[in-house]
Amino acid sequence: MLKIVNLHAEVEGKPILKGINLEINKGEVHAIMGPNGSGKSTLANVLSGNENYQVTEGEIWYEGHNMLDLSPEDRAREGVFLAFQYPVEIPGISNATLLKTAINEIRKHNGMDDISPKDFLAKMREKGQILGMNDLLINRSVNSGFSGGEKKRNEILQLLMLEPKLALLDETDSGLDIDALKIVSTGVNSFRSSENAVLLVTHYQRLLNYIVPDFVHVLSNGKILKSGGKELALKLEDQGYDWINKAELETESV
Amino acid sequence: MSEDMKIVEDLTQSEYKWGFVTDIEMDKAPNGLNEEIIRFISAKKNEPEWMTEWRLKAYRTWLKMAEPDWAKINYPKIDFQEISYYAAPVKKPQLNSMDEVDPALLETFEKLGIPLAERQRLAGVAVDAVFDSVSVATTFRETLAKEGIIFCSISEAIRNHPDLIKKYLGSVVPATDNYFAALNSAVFTDGSFVFIPKGVRCPMELSTYFRINAENTGQFERTLIVAEDDSYVSYLEGCTAPMRDSNQLHAAVVELVTLENAEIKYSTVQNWYPGDKEGKGGIYNFVTKRGMCRGKNSKISWTQVETGSAITWKYPSCVLAGENSIGEFYSIAVTNNFQQADTGTKMIHIGKNTRSTIISKGISAGKSNNSYRGLVKIGKKAENARNFSQCDSMLMGDKCGAHTFPYIEVENPSAKVEHEATTSKVGEDQIFYLNSRGIDTEDAVNMIVNGFCKEVFNVLPMEFAVEAQKLLAVSLEGSVG
């Protein structure tokens, strides 16, 4: 589904990603872990097409497309979804309006008619229920005056409504208490299927207790230093990132 | 230049959609302004002698006045002798039905997207269409007449209802009020007159579409709406002018009067030609709009969506004289390219327990300047007066300006006056957020702007709200910050 080859990217002229290689197949959940400033969020933003991040080298292939040729909106229409680390407020536009517009843009792109109001409403109720979001929250302006936890839940509501093929979750767990973390995880797990894939970026192993990954990658200084199964996350939790950095230093000095 | 700035540049450069000129023979006065011209206009309109005198008096007042210069607008000095003050289609039709309307004229309305016939049938809106200076079609008059409602051109009213005109014309905006009001009083050529008798709730929304057509012809409309005790009317005003190189002057006066328990809701969508991308051409719009809540418990509500004109100088105001009377002002003003808008309101509290609300949304793009200027005045006798003002500005790009000039004068210690103001930028982060949901940049900006203006759209009559949203989209066509 997604193949990243030797990806280099920078922000305001400062190199952040320095040669990422990663392949994600349908049905897989990949977790990217790493210390602050390692480039985790940059990777998520580059994949969603944020123009503040410039790709300087490498390739990204997604479902047969050269992803770098696609605008952010076309990536979204092709089934890429980014759950933001800091969801943006849009006063005066209701969640329902945003979701309906987004769904119809995606449907239009795929040659489908607009969703019927009845179907839309039913879907919204169903997905809202999974996340414990009532109509009130759904009809409020997008993220306006939402608490941190509500914003994150709202991102997951959008994920469930838009049903992308590739979900990028950028530190969706940050700022969540344990109850909210469980709700959000339940939402993500209800999304998982053999037809889609998830790339989640996180600091902490905590989230991975609830959303169990198939692969864990450790990112440090713009490179994937180590990949493994879910047990890798536990080792990180136990020993921190230092042992990997040391290993890297040793490798470099050889 | 960032990518977003480039998008601003691209998108704010959409062409004016309504730029065309209708080919109808005109009967036009020679350029210039003097007593002879005023007599000429008055004669053309078959006006009685007292009206001619009224005009001349206003003209003499105007001669002694100076053009105001306090607004935050810049424009070359207007030569009032270079303007023709009267233009009318040569064939002034006496119409019995829509079939008799000049086809070229109908086509014009067609292009404007306001097919009269369609509007009548679908929306149940009576339309008094003003084409340059003469009313050409007045509809639904019979239905209205049954209720005792008068809805006609001001010229007809002067001829047929002299008592009402003598009583109310100039009672809210006297000729001495300001420079442009004096000019209008001297040379106004047409406009609407509405009279809602006691106890009548007008069964439909009344609507007038004004259109400036002849080159170098200032249009000076005069509108007067009187709502007697316990009556209600909602009035819609929409405007579009064709594209021209030279600036056209427009100085209208609108007067509203509400008696006890009466309510007038006045909504405007103004999208006159704003000039081209270099700031050439465009309408100069100097308007005096004022409502007088004369009776107890009466209410006047102004709602405006201003997207057009090179220069807008306009402050729809309410004089809250009656006890418990209410004044409201809801405004969206959009400026793009080199447009300049200095607009706002005045709420003059005179009576006890009077209340006013001001919601102003200014959107600036391109190299435009958008100013809110508002006065809230609480008089000595206005016990327990209340005002709430909210002025929000939104900037697109980094070459435009937004300014807020609130004036508050309170002479009664029991008054409560609140003022809130915000300035925001259409954020790259907001646009990217919507992009990442599959929404392209143009639609994203429209969504953000619509969200910003929502409080005002909510108070617009339904069909107007739809039109206004489309207009905003055209005016800004995807501008970004």
What are the domain boundaries of chain B?
A: 3-476
Looking at the complex, report in whole angstroms how far the Cα of residue A79 sits from the nearest Cα belonging to chain B.
Answer: 9
Chain A residues with CB under 8 Å of B438 CB are: 73, 76-77, 102, 105-106, 109, 162
The answer to whether A70 and B405 have CB atoms below 8 angstroms apart is: no
In a mutational test of the B interface, the residue from A54, A86, A88, A146 whose CB has the highest number of chain B CBs within 10 Å is A88
Instruction: Please state, rounded to an integer, the average pLDDT across all residues of chain A.
Output: 90
Do the Cβ atoms of B451 and A162 come within 8 Å? no
Q: Which of A76, A90, A102 sits opposite B448 (nearest CB)?
A: A90
Q: Determine whether domain A31-50+71-253 maps to CATH 3.40.50.300.
A: yes
* Predicted local distance difference test score (pLDDT) of residue A128: 92
Alpha-carbon distance of B162 to B156, in angstroms, equals 9
Do the Cβ atoms of B436 and A71 come within 8 Å? no
Q: Which of A71, A105, A141 sits opposite B451 (nearest CB)?
A: A141
Do the Cβ atoms of B438 and A109 come within 8 Å? yes
Length of chain A: 254
Do the Cβ atoms of B436 and A52 come within 8 Å? no
Do the Cβ atoms of A105 and B429 come within 8 Å? no
Residue B260, helix vs strand vs coil:
coil
* Predicted local distance difference test score (pLDDT) of residue B125: 47
Do the Cβ atoms of A88 and B451 come within 8 Å? no
* Predicted local distance difference test score (pLDDT) of residue B247: 64
Do the Cβ atoms of A93 and B432 come within 8 Å? no
Question: Locate tokens 């306090």: which residue?
Answer: B70
Neighbours of A216 (CB within 10 A): 24
What are the domain boundaries of chain A?
A: 31-50+71-253
Alpha-carbon distance of B259 to B298, in angstroms, equals 6
In a mutational test of the A interface, the residue from B434, B440, B447, B456 whose CB has the highest number of chain A CBs within 10 Å is B434
Do the Cβ atoms of B435 and A82 come within 8 Å? no
Q: Which of A49, A51, A102 sits opposite B437 (nearest CB)?
A: A102
* Predicted local distance difference test score (pLDDT) of residue B457: 85
Residues 374-433 of B with CB under 8 A from A: 427-430, 432-433
For chain B, residues with pLDDT lower than 50 are: 1-13, 90-94, 115, 117-125, 132-137, 210-217, 478, 481
* Predicted local distance difference test score (pLDDT) of residue B17: 55
SS percent in chain B: helix, strand, coil, step 5: 25, 35, 40
Alpha-carbon distance of B122 to B125, in angstroms, equals 8
* Predicted local distance difference test score (pLDDT) of residue B10: 47
Do the Cβ atoms of A77 and B438 come within 8 Å? yes
Do the Cβ atoms of B436 and A72 come within 8 Å? yes
Backbone angles phi, psi at B90, to 5 degrees: -60, -50
CB within 8 Å of B479: residues ≥ 6 apart: B7, B8, B11, B12, B336, B365, B366, B396, B397, B426, B445
Q: How far is CA B287 from the centre of its chain?
A: 7
> Which helix (H) or strand (E) segment is A185 a member of?
helix A178-191
Q: Which of B433, B439, B450 sits opposite A92 (nearest CB)?
A: B450
Q: Report mean pLDDT in 10-residue bins for chain A, 254 residues.
A: 95 93 96 89 94 94 93 96 94 91 95 94 92 82 89 94 96 89 94 96 89 94 90 82 66 46
Name the burial class of residue B193, with classes exposed (0-12), middle (13-18) and buried (19+) by CB atoms within 10 angstroms of its CB: buried
Do the Cβ atoms of A97 and B447 come within 8 Å? yes
Question: Locate tokens 């106004």: which residue?
Answer: B188
Chain B residues with CB under 8 Å of A47 CB are: none
Distances in Å between the alpha carbon of A240 and those of A231, A237, B247?
Answer: 13, 6, 71
Alpha-carbon distance of B378 to B32, in angstroms, equals 42
Alpha-carbon distance of B186 to B172, in angstroms, equals 16
Q: Write out the two tokens for A16.
A: 């952040």
Distances in Å between the alpha carbon of B14 and those of B108, B316, B340?
Answer: 21, 29, 18
Distances in Å between the alpha carbon of B127 and those of B87, B118, B123, B218, B265?
Answer: 21, 11, 11, 22, 16
* Predicted local distance difference test score (pLDDT) of residue B351: 96
Chain A residues with CB under 8 Å of B473 CB are: none
Residue B11, helix vs strand vs coil:
helix
- Strand pairing report for A53-62 and A90-94: unpaired
Neighbours of B100 (CB within 10 A): 11
Chain B residues with CB under 8 Å of A84 CB are: 433, 436
Q: Where are the beta strands (DSSP E) in A29-146?
A: 29-33, 53-62, 65-66, 80-83, 90-94, 141-142
Residue type, B339: Q
* Predicted local distance difference test score (pLDDT) of residue B101: 58
Alpha-carbon distance of A81 to A162, in angstroms, equals 8
* Predicted local distance difference test score (pLDDT) of residue B243: 53
